[in-house]
Structure 1
């Protein structure tokens, strides 16, 4: 049974998918000016989380939107984005984020671009969970991306350094088993499934997406990932992305919390908001997971049936990125080659 920091059992708590505005660093005059914007963003987040805590009783978990501190690259070469926007795992920015967790006594999940000493000139997109002590209890690096480097792109070296367990980490914490899913990866059911296979109970989803009252692909996927894995989804969207030329409210609103049955418990409208807050009932989730019934889908999985298909098939190839040699256009070129090959084989 999960326990809080005082040793008392935790069976339920409140979480918030904090909907906050992103101020992009792309047009900052220099890397130094970019870092000033990042520090200002962290200060805003600190203030918003502290204020939210005063209004949401029983709050223990805050999930922040995707790349909230920087925005996303819009064509910058990989080394430039490293200098302008990527955080060092042991650097100032993460230390300041850890201060937020310690000051508030909350678990905080942040999504950011980050450096890795083993891969100079490259960066990864990471979802990091900081616990109430300010310690990093989870670091998940996005595995599927259209325009950025992932561990899959440098897979052999990545596994030789970090091992298989680094790909699908699950943090066993005082508030349950936490796992992160980044942005469009909610559309890849294998990611959530691999995390659920390792015990994940609450998916922390940082996103920056078009808000829609319709069943958009991501909204469908959030419901599906919750139902098929018997897990909560805490999905935080940006409240606009400013400073990169796009209409700012293109990615604004719809942050939500979904329970293990696929019920939307809370959903924000547009604008900066803490309205997407709800109770995470771990006791109810665990009762549902342990009940022998038709809708308890996770223990009904027959993975042996699917394993040969996955093991014997390769679509998007691993190990295609090399530091200092890979331009951003590489990713679209690689996808085009995959599409051409699959079409030639009659698979698409």
Structure 2
């Protein structure tokens, strides 16, 4: 592989901005476009300071989970899709592309997104926009508690996008990028599937409770890094504006972790650029090619686990497909499915 000069990656910790109280889609889109413009200014100022501080040029910036809209709350799924979910070719992505192009960096983030193949619902999507302005990676969250996922429409989703669309890896000039959404950092299978397809850097957009204590997500970020010999660049929100929830409930601990699981930089609460660090892809690739006990990727024996994973899954696929048609769920659908799963596993003596 071509050598890659070390560069800075930045987890930009900014407040998410809710659209809950806005009257319609026009108002929501206007707020989102304005916020993207603000992000461009903050990102440029941050990148300049990082270089003045003695850092490398910023070539990768990661934004938090649902930074443009906040979470849907109890807004119905079709209503939120209509009001706030982005279109694949919509003006919000065009605005993000202008920021990435103007600052010559790869811009990663997370948003709710509509798909013309699945009208009436949305997917939570992690994306990467290249310096060309093009979206080069679009990953839809696979494990969510209260929102539709590709697994809920699995047979149709696979027919349209194939496995490459389920576990996409963008092979770029700064390394091979893959996305992990929010609490999915707690599921080792998702990161491992990306790593087995070549991912070297996990961009992780999150909105989580920050703490000086070791939270499950903070522990998991380090584990996903060293077990896959991959960098993790994780951006958390700096609170959520425009909701009834206390502002700083999801704030702090944005972090950059190296391929050995060591934190390189971590943010305190508040809007800040302080979670930045140089990534050395050449060192990562050297590590992956060394034989030894710590080369966890090369030592994988996947056949051992295939029979277990190939059995009946706890969470069923296609929960939103009925007689071949995608149905629009209410918010409680996903809770009912989980209750059924727990009941079945209990009756089988598995939990």
Indicate whether the TM-score tops 0.5: yes
Task: Map Cα deviations across residues 193-231 of structure 1 (whole Å, 9 max, x no partner).
Answer: 000000110000000000012111101100110011010
Q: Which runs of no fewer than 5 residues in structure 2 stay unpaired?
A: 52-56
CA drift at 1:48: 1.1
* 2:332 matches 1:329: yes
Structure 2 match to 1:124: 123
In the alignment, what sits opposite 2:96? 97
1:155 deviates by 0.4
Q: CA deviation at 1:324?
A: 5.0
3-state SS in 2 of match to 1:300: coil
Deviations 1:51-96 (A, max 9, x none): 1121123110000000000001101111111111100010111111
- Measure, in 1, the Cα distance between the counterparts of 2:63 and 2:174: 17
The residue that corresponds to 1:142 in the other structure is 141
Contact 2:240 2:250 in 1 (8 A): yes
- What TM-score does the superposition give when structure 2 sets the normalisation length? 0.96
Is 2:78–2:328's contact at 8 Å kept on the other side of the alignment? no
Alignment of 1:1-348 (within 5 A): 1-2=1-2, 9-57=3-51, 58-322=57-321, 323-348=326-351
Q: CA deviation at 1:32?
A: 2.1
Q: Give structure 1 regions of 4+ aligned residues with deviation exceeding 4 angstroms.
A: none
Alpha carbon RMSD of aligned pairs, Å?
1.0
Unpaired runs of at least 5, structure 1: 3-8
**Distance verdict in 2 for CA 1:342–1:274, change over 3 Å:** same
In 1, the alpha carbon distance for the partners of 2:327 and 2:315 equals: 21
Whole-angstrom CA distance in 2 between matches of 1:192 and 1:324: 29
Query: Secondary structure of the residue that 1:192 maps to in structure 2?
Result: helix
* Cα distance in 2 between the residues matched to 1:330 and 1:45: 35
